[in-house]
Amino acid sequence: MNTHKNARLTPHGRALLAARVIDEGLRPREVAQAQGVSVRTVYKWVRRFRQEGHTGLQDRMSRPARSPFATDATTVDQIIERRQQR
């Protein structure tokens, strides 16, 4: 997965962030200011690192696992067919 061009943290930056909190003992507020992110973000990445290790610091898809209100396939097919008739 590609890292967004405006992303504040890459997987390497997340590992550095977690190491500063866990290994160096810096406060999350200090690390957040140094990295330019929120304190909540620091806690999120530290938690993921503790639970999953380095694999938890990789980018994840933002697509939902399911979409209960999605348009059903027959309706989608009808819409496509009608658009092509124009």
Contact 15, 45 (CB under 8 A): no
Is residue 50 assigned to a domain? yes
- Identify the pLDDT of residue 64: 87
C-alpha–C-alpha distance, residues 72 and 20, integer Å: 48
Q: Which domain, by its residues, includes 2?
A: 1-60
> Would you state the structure tokens that stand for residue 17, as one six-digit string?
């962030």
How many structural domains are present in the chain? 1
Is residue 67 assigned to a domain? no
Radius of gyration of the chain (CA): 20
- Identify the pLDDT of residue 6: 72
- Identify the pLDDT of residue 1: 60
Is residue 81 assigned to a domain? no
Total-model pTM: 0.69
Give yes or no for residue 27 having a pLDDT over 80.
yes
Is residue 18 assigned to a domain? yes
- Identify the pLDDT of residue 65: 87
